[in-house]
Structure 1
Amino acid sequence: MRYHISILVLFISTLMFSQGSNYASSIGLSGGYAEDGYGVKGTFNYHLNRNQYAQLSIFAAIAEDKGSFNIPYNIFTVQPGYFLKVWEQKNFKRYAVNLGGGGLFGYEIINNGNSTLSNGAILDAKSQFIYGVFLGFEGEVTLNNDFSLLVKANEYYHINSDVGQFYPYAGLGIRYFLF
């Protein structure tokens, strides 16, 4: 696992410094649906040029598995990634679609860290560090030079999660361009 994280950090840093000067940087915040609950995502984007950017995100999900027992869980991850603009409105450049992906690592907390349920049943799942990859979609509506509205959708693949390997997130948010 340490080898995979080192390769990912090397990849992101190569992208950031091989493209020449910085076009702009931006921060964003979105909130919305995560499987079995709600999620919030904060992002920092380092724009390499008008059509590509490296992204560092922090994601938090608050959810409850409503199977035979209601088991609360939380997921917290950090996600370095790379996005590419695949479509932009030709005349006014007001609308755009970006696709990307990257890695993730973080922590999942199951049943607030307790291994037993209120009825005495013992959970087989445990709170643990998780890692994996993600694919992302961002629809962007430019409001002015400083702000954009976002529609975000991510599909996470947690390689070692006890909650579930595939984990979706969809949300609405806003992006602010720093310079």
Structure 2
Amino acid sequence: MLSKTLKNKISRMNNKRRIKKQFLYTLLTSLMFWSYSPSLSAQSHKVAFSINGGIVQNGFGGMITGDYKVNDFDYLQFNLQGSFATLEQNNIDIPVNTYSFNTGFFFDILRNNSRTFALSLGAGGTVGYEIINEDDSSIENNQILTIETKNIVYGAYAGIDADIFLSPVITLNIKLNEIYHINSEIGEFTPYAGLGVKLILK
């Protein structure tokens, strides 16, 4: 028969083995959970695509955007924007359409611990085409516009991008941009506020 001391020693060894197994099981389970968790997957992508609509001064606009991450948090951004507004002259509303290509660099400034929310700030350059009154210098009451009715515009922009992750591959995307067109006929600064959806492509 085994002595009481030996039995106690075997019991302690078995307890240690059981504790080690439980610890390894917990560790592996935790690693598997975190490797597949939405919070990490949501931040590991390289390419994203978003589309949103919103408002500009005296009108509305839309934007199609592509993001390419250069590291875990910062990214290059490219987008096509269309703005459809009105310019008032002598109590007459004149349509103004602007189509522009914007490219910039955005960096992370705020995110919560669970990484379901991200806020980025960025800036870059813009070039586009501005069409006033459908490229017609004549307006109501036999008046003539004294400005260029079509023009290539260029300048810079700054913006804020906010992402609320609804799933690892879909976010609610909020954009706030201020565009500065140096040679625009309707005013140099054009604000844009938009809301849309971003898809994580890979």
User: After TM superposition, is the score higher than 0.5?
Assistant: yes
What is the aligned partner in structure 2 of residue 54 from structure 1? 76
**C-alpha distance after superposition, 1:6-48 (max 9, x if no partner):** xxxxxxxxxxxxxxxx951010011011111000000011111
The one-letter amino acid paired with 1:40 is G
Post-superposition CA distance 1:35-81 (Å, at most 9, x none)? 11000000011111221000111000111123422111100000011
Aligned residue in 2 for 1:178: 201
Gaps of 5+ in 2: 1-43
Q: How does 1:113-132 map to 2 (within 5 A)?
A: 113-126=135-148, 127-132=150-155
- Tell me if structure 1 keeps the 8 A contact 2:126–2:156: yes
CA deviations 1:56-107 (Å, max 9, x no partner) are 11000111123422111100000011100100101x1011111001000010
Structure with larger Rg: 2
* CA deviation map 1:101-127 (0-9, x unaligned): 100001000000001102211111211
Say which structure is richer in helix. Answer: 2
* Aligned amino acid, residue 117 of structure 2: Y
Match for residue 97 of structure 1?
A: 119
Q: May I ask how many residue pairs the two structures share in their alignment?
A: 157
Indicate conservation of the 8 Å contact 2:45/2:200, yes or no: no
Q: Could you tell me which of 161, 176, 187 is aligned with 1:138?
A: 161
Percent identity of the aligned residues?
Answer: 33
Q: CA deviation at 1:143?
A: 1.1
Q: Secondary structure of the residue that 1:119 maps to in structure 2?
A: helix
TM-score where L is the length of structure 2: 0.75
Q: Does 2:101 correspond to 1:71?
A: no
2 CA distance for matches of 1:86 and 1:26? 19
One-letter amino acid of the counterpart of residue 119, structure 2? V
Name the structure 2 match of 1:19: none
Select the residue among 119, 133, 155 that pairs with 1:111: 133
1:28 equivalent in structure 2 = 50
Q: Is the 8 A contact 1:23 1:49 kept in 2?
A: no
In the alignment, structure 1 segments of 5+ residues that lack a partner are 1-21
3-state SS of 2:140 partner? coil
Q: SS at the partner of 2:186?
A: coil
Q: Give the TM-score taking structure 1 as reference length.
A: 0.85
C-alpha RMSD of the superposition: 1.2
The structure with more strand, counted as a fraction of residues? 1
Secondary structure, counterpart of 1:162 in structure 2: coil
Instruction: Indicate the residue corresponding to 2:186 in structure 1.
Output: 163
The range that moved more, 118-127 or 141-150, is 118-127
